[in-house]
């Protein structure tokens, strides 16, 4: 893992948005699709803001872009304002010229008995698209990437998982109380994420400094699933000073 530390999240986000824009344009120039793996949560918001600005002011087009989101709560209606489906439309998809047919967010309403088959087809769709060219990640305080909580296997694929208590506590304010936070989610697996050709993980703020240290300096372990990224040859952690504060 290679890390870059910025004065603040705005500067870090601008660099990441620039890398994504360059990739989209480079792919478009050779008539190819650009396949992006995307995250929700607070960490990527400024990256999406900057991409929207580049679309409006610099003519950045998303016509050749296909996206796959990491995760969605289950059960969760797509039009619920707490859904990741809603989040992505609010922060990115509604403001750029992406073809809705190229947008993929796991469906939070798949019936339980169909989840297995659904997850297999999500995985298959990523492969058919040619794999993820770029995967954007945040990190949870449990060390999760996507919703791959502690105990996740190195080769795990897209599947349904039970959210860790800490993850639900962190989500509680957005849901106006712990009891309202879903207990389950559908997430891409560690194996899915590791196949991405390029991975950028964002972490901002002092709250993340401990898990960032464990992830970068700790032993590789399923107890901190993000440590699996140590074995991915093309991963960069983009941090602000606060998130990097405990690194030696």
Residues that bind ligand F6R in the complex, under the rule CB under 6 A: 39-43, 70-71, 138-140, 144-147
- With beta carbons less than 8 A apart as the criterion, state whether 93 and 103 touch: yes
We find the least distance from the C-beta atom of residue 139 to ligand F6R, in angstroms, to be: 6
Distance in angstroms (rounded) separating the CA atoms of residues 144 and 138: 9
Is there a catalytic annotation at residue 128?
no
* CB-neighbour burial class of residue 182 (10 A; exposed 0-12, middle 13-18, buried 19+): middle
- With beta carbons less than 8 A apart as the criterion, state whether 167 and 152 touch: no
In the complex with ligand F6R, the residue whose CB is nearer, 138 or 189, is 138
Distance in angstroms (rounded) separating the CA atoms of residues 191 and 1: 17
We find the least distance from the C-beta atom of residue 28 to ligand F6R, in angstroms, to be: 26
We find the least distance from the C-beta atom of residue 61 to ligand F6R, in angstroms, to be: 25
Residue 26, CA distances (Å) to 23, 88, 124, 195, 212 in order: 5, 24, 25, 21, 31
Is there a catalytic annotation at residue 99?
no
Is there a catalytic annotation at residue 219?
no
We find the least distance from the C-beta atom of residue 248 to ligand F6R, in angstroms, to be: 23
In the complex with ligand F6R, the residue whose CB is nearer, 64 or 146, is 146
List the catalytic residue out of 71, 72, 123, 240. 71
DSSP H helices in 110-199 = 115-128, 165-171, 190-194
In the complex with ligand F6R, the residue whose CB is nearer, 63 or 183, is 183
What region, left, alpha or beta, does residue 31 occupy, with left being phi > 0 and alpha being psi -120 to 50 degrees? Answer: left
List the catalytic residue out of 133, 149, 240, 242. 149
List the catalytic residue out of 50, 144, 164, 240. 144
Give residue for tokens 């948005």: 17
In the complex with ligand F6R, the residue whose CB is nearer, 43 or 64, is 43
In the complex with ligand F6R, the residue whose CB is nearer, 108 or 140, is 140
161 CA to centre of own chain = 16
DSSP notation for 44-77? THHHHHHHHHHHHHH----TTEEEEESEEEES--
Kindly report the length of the chain: 248
We find the least distance from the C-beta atom of residue 39 to ligand F6R, in angstroms, to be: 4
The residues assigned a catalytic role are 71, 144, 149
């Amino acid at each position: 893992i290679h890390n870059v530390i910025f004065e603040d999240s705005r500067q870090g986000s601008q660099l990441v948005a620039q890398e994504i824009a360059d990739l989209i344009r480079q792919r478009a120039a050779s008539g190819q699709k650009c396949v992006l793996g995307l995250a929700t949560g607070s960490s990527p918001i400024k990256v999406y803001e900057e991409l929207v600005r580049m679309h409006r002011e610099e003519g950045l087009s998303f016509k050749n872009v296909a996206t796959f989101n990491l995760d969605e709560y289950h059960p969760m209606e797509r039009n619920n304002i707490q859904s990741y489906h809603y989040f992505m439309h609010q922060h990115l998809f509604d403001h750029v010229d992406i073809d809705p047919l190229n947008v993929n967010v796991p469906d939070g309403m798949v019936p339980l008995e169909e989840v297995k088959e659904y997850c297999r087809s999500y995985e298959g769709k990523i492969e058919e698209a040619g794999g993820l060219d770029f995967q954007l990640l945040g990190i949870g305080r449990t060390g999760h990437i996507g919703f791959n909580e502690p105990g996740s296997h190195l080769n795990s694929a897209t599947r349904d998982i039970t959210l860790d208590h800490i993850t639900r506590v962190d989500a509680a304010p957005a849901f106006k109380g712990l009891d309202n936070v879903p207990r389950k989610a559908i997430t891409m697996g560690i194996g899915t994420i590791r196949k991405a050709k390029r991975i950028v993980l964002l972490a901002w703020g002092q709250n993340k400094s401990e898990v960032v240290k464990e992830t970068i300096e700790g032993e590789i372990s399923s107890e901190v699933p993000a440590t699996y990224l140590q074995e991915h040859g093309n991963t960069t952690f983009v941090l602000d000073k606060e998130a990097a504060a405990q690194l030696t």
